[in-house]
Chains A and B, each alone.
Chain A
Amino acid sequence: MSTIDQSNAFGIHAIEYLVPPIRHSVRELHDKGLLISTPEAMEELGFEYGLMWDRPATAAAAEVVGRVLKQANIDPADVDLLINATAISESSLVPPNYSAPTTNENRHLQQFMNSSARIQDELGLVNAKTMGLSEVSCSSLMTAIWTARALMIEERKDIAVCVNVDKFPDGYKREVVYNVVSDSACAVVVKRGETRNRIVTYEAMTRGYYWDSDRRQNEMMASYFTTGSRIVQKTLKKAAMKLDDISLMIPHNVSLRSWQILSDLIGYPIEHVYTGNIAQMGHSIAADNFINLKDAAAEGRLSEGDLTMLYTFGLGAHWGCMILEA
């Protein structure tokens, strides 16, 4: 079943995430003018809460990377690669006035104050190449993991940390295409030779027509399911697998209703889709899949050898599926 040479086998060695401390019910979000639909509609679709950061994304990013390295007992100096994957471009920058006052003379330099470099410095990842990954919206973290794997194969490196922390700008609506969106913070260690959550394959599809997700929202919604079912089939075909082989579907947290439809479409039982976090956490931008994977494992939903399919979608639009072997 494996599509990868064992010497280039990589797995998810560790996952850590943070829960943003500000928690609003959908009714509260609505009262603050942060929803477009009614709270009743959002509840019917499966959402109850949205979560927000009380600090800049860069601060949460350093914290969650620090935690995952500690949890995984990894020396920061052993990290070869750090990818900061953000859905929102603002999240990748260290905000103005973070270290020194921003003046007219240094304002232009703000555009180059990137979070990945700051994390490398703060945590002592002295040997890590750093970079950001953006423009794939909510599929950022999954894309980062696959990119990290490909780079480590090419460069013969062993350990990468991929992190997603996104903070919606203050005052922005917290509803994106009928989904309640929460801020996120999740870090994933990808390690050569790791047999847990071994990365079996990844497939992605971009339909750039939907770059205009505002004007083309209805068309994008119509194609979400039709393309979604196709990316699932494409990924399974790539891995020479069938849907029956997948023990658990690890979704991104679009609405529960969307998952009921998509699981019907692809013929996969909804009971095997991990939907436990949708109501309480909302859609944590690019981090959902890995937050859900960690929680599913902690709840005993996965046994050794189980195959999981992680499914994601990002505005732009991008569809992605990753198969892991637990």
Chain B
Amino acid sequence: MLFVTGITGAFGVEILRILLRDYKDKEVVALIRASDPQKLVERWTRLLAIASDGEVKPEDVPAFTPLAGDITKPHLGLSVAQVQSLCDGVEEIIHSAATVDFDEPLDSSRIINVEGTRNVLRLATDCARLRKFAHVSTLYVAGRRSGDIFEHELEHSEGFVTMGYEESKYEAELLIRQYMSRLPITVYRMSLLMGCLRDGYVNDYGAIHRYLMFMYRGIAPCFPGISSCPLDFLPYDYSAECFMTLFGEHFKGGDTYQISAGERSPTTERWLELTAQTYAKHSASWRKGSYNSPDIVTWPTYQLYKKTILTIENMEFMKVVRILDSCAEECFCPKVFKRDKLNAALGVDMDTVPDYEGYYPRILDHCIEMNWGLSPKFVKA
């Protein structure tokens, strides 16, 4: 039995897609937040539809069971009987549930990312048949570190950029390491996930997408950062395939893998250029130069912009500032996330990392077509 948390998240949906392809006859239990059984069924039905492009209904996968629960609650909000059933049967756990909101405060991020993880670990400790526990983390536990970031590294005192996301995920990894001696745990650090390689599909519009939306609408005058700073991002589906291959075929407890773009990341400057070029395909304002790529500015210059925006109390620009405040300082901490262990485990080299010049414009095409998640055509898991 495979027990999965976070299956409704952007990454979780891609895991489900792979499970439907490769684990269809295996017993899978997915923990999903739902206030009542009907909402559970609705959510599960919608999720399956998204993960299968409309092909799969609940009755098609009788071995897959959704379970209403919540990782932030003791015993994951499950009944005694449900907990016992899991403890008796679970052999594999994928713990992907987290808040990935960049401007979520630290306290509330901790509730989900640290205490939620603790609750799942407690359950795992009682799973007598457990062979594999996958903890989905983030590359950005590296916080404000710069330079090469290796897979085995974790502890640092450089601080963090986002309000609570990075630090809480860092604390969750510290907690995970405490359990590594007694449970078969492997950590998988994900990059910034933008959309799908196969068709550009975006399942969840996060801070970066919202900034890109403001940029598309011509109200992002600047981007704080260093032009040459690498911006590590990857598609959901590629990342999920790497993850599930490592988990399914190359699991080794005690290891940490970084599913990163590494040296294949674009620079901040190239990312903005490519964004502007893609926008010009869709928008006359971009084609005619009425809108320009934002200037990459120093942190003090960005603070001047911000101070001005606060002085004039312009609500639209304040939304842009809020996004940049939540994450843009990352672009002053140039780093390369190394993935040597992952490459060795999968028997690949960096050439297999998808080329962002090819897939990233498709993601933007999709965002524009879906009006940045506001179109009625967009269905969120």
* Bound-state Cα–Cα, A246 to B191, Å: 45
Which of B217, B292, B317 has the most CB atoms of chain A within a 10 A radius of its CB? B292
Contact of B219 among A208, A222, A229, A255 (CB under 8 A): A222
A227 touches B292 (CB 8 A): yes
**What's the minimum C-beta distance from B147 to chain A, rounded to whole angstroms?**
27
B301 touches A261 (CB 8 A): yes
Chain B CB within 8 A of A268 CB: no
**What's the minimum C-beta distance from B284 to chain A, rounded to whole angstroms?**
8
Residues from chain A with a CB closer than 8 A to the CB of B79 are none
Which B329-351 residues have a C-beta within 8 angstroms of A?
none
Residues from chain A with a CB closer than 8 A to the CB of B316 are 218
* Bound-state Cα–Cα, A210 to B285, Å: 10
Which B288-327 residues have a C-beta within 8 angstroms of A?
288-295, 297-298, 300-301, 304-305, 307-308, 311-314, 316-317
Contact of A207 with B297 at beta-carbon distance under 8 Å, contacts A41-B311, A260-B304 already known: no
Which A204-258 residues have a C-beta within 8 angstroms of B?
207-210, 218-219, 221-227, 229-230, 255, 257-258
Residues from chain A with a CB closer than 8 A to the CB of B304 are 257, 260-261, 264
**What's the minimum C-beta distance from B99 to chain A, rounded to whole angstroms?**
30
**What's the minimum C-beta distance from A293 to chain B, rounded to whole angstroms?**
26
**What's the minimum C-beta distance from A138 to chain B, rounded to whole angstroms?**
19
Residues from chain A with a CB closer than 8 A to the CB of B219 are 218-219, 221-222
Residues from chain B with a CB closer than 8 A to the CB of A45 are 308, 311-312
Which A246-290 residues have a C-beta within 8 angstroms of B?
255, 257-258, 260-261, 264-265
Name which residue of chain B comes closest to A317, CB basis: B290
**What's the minimum C-beta distance from B280 to chain A, rounded to whole angstroms?**
14
A264 touches B298 (CB 8 A): yes
Contact of B312 among A178, A230, A260 (CB under 8 A): A178
Residues from chain A with a CB closer than 8 A to the CB of B221 are 221-226
Contacts across chains A and B counted by CB atoms under 8 Å:
78
* Bound-state Cα–Cα, A257 to B310, Å: 12
Name which residue of chain A comes closest to B308, CB basis: A257
Chain A CB within 8 A of B58 CB: no
B301 touches A226 (CB 8 A): no
Chain B CB within 8 A of A44 CB: yes
Contact of B288 among A178, A209, A221, A225 (CB under 8 A): A209
**What's the minimum C-beta distance from A218 to chain B, rounded to whole angstroms?**
5
Contact of A210 among B222, B290, B292 (CB under 8 A): B290
Q: Secondary structure of the A side of the interface? A: helix
Residues from chain B with a CB closer than 8 A to the CB of A223 are 218, 221, 290-292
Name which residue of chain A comes closest to B285, CB basis: A209
Contact of A226 with B295 at beta-carbon distance under 8 Å, contacts A209-B285, A209-B288, A219-B217 already known: yes
A264 touches B314 (CB 8 A): no
Count of chain A residues with Cβ under 8 Å from any Cβ of B? Answer: 27
Chain A CB within 8 A of B112 CB: no
* Bound-state Cα–Cα, A208 to B295, Å: 21
Contact of A261 among B285, B293, B305 (CB under 8 A): B305
Chain B CB within 8 A of A37 CB: yes
* Bound-state Cα–Cα, A257 to B305, Å: 9
Contact of A264 with B297 at beta-carbon distance under 8 Å, contacts A45-B311, A218-B316, A225-B221 already known: yes
**What's the minimum C-beta distance from A149 to chain B, rounded to whole angstroms?**
26
Chain A CB within 8 A of B220 CB: yes
Which of A37, A45, A223, A257 has the most CB atoms of chain B within a 10 A radius of its CB? A223
Residues from chain A with a CB closer than 8 A to the CB of B218 are 218-219, 222-223
A226 touches B292 (CB 8 A): yes
Name which residue of chain B comes closest to A209, CB basis: B290
Contact of A225 with B222 at beta-carbon distance under 8 Å, contacts A41-B312, A209-B285, A264-B301 already known: yes
B295 touches A37 (CB 8 A): no
* Bound-state Cα–Cα, A219 to B320, Å: 13
* Bound-state Cα–Cα, A310 to B137, Å: 53
Which B196-224 residues have a C-beta within 8 angstroms of A?
217-222
Residues from chain A with a CB closer than 8 A to the CB of B298 are 264
Contact of A207 with B312 at beta-carbon distance under 8 Å, contacts A222-B218, A257-B304, A264-B298 already known: no
Residues from chain A with a CB closer than 8 A to the CB of B301 are 261, 264-265
A218 touches B293 (CB 8 A): no
16 new A-B contacts at CB < 8 Å, known A178-B312, A226-B295: A45-B311, A207-B288, A209-B285, A209-B288, A209-B290, A221-B221, A222-B219, A223-B221, A225-B221, A225-B295, A226-B221, A226-B222, A257-B307, A261-B308, A264-B297, A264-B300
Offer 20 A-B interface pairs, CB within 8 angstroms, sorted by A.
A37-B312, A44-B311, A45-B308, A45-B312, A178-B312, A208-B290, A210-B290, A218-B218, A218-B219, A218-B316, A219-B285, A221-B219, A222-B219, A222-B317, A226-B292, A229-B295, A257-B311, A261-B301, A261-B305, A261-B308
- The 5 residue pairs across chains A and B that have the minimum distance between CB atoms: A209-B290, A226-B292, A219-B218, A222-B221, A264-B301
Chain B residues near A (Cβ < 8 Å): 217-222, 285, 288-295, 297-298, 300-301, 304-305, 307-308, 311-314, 316-317
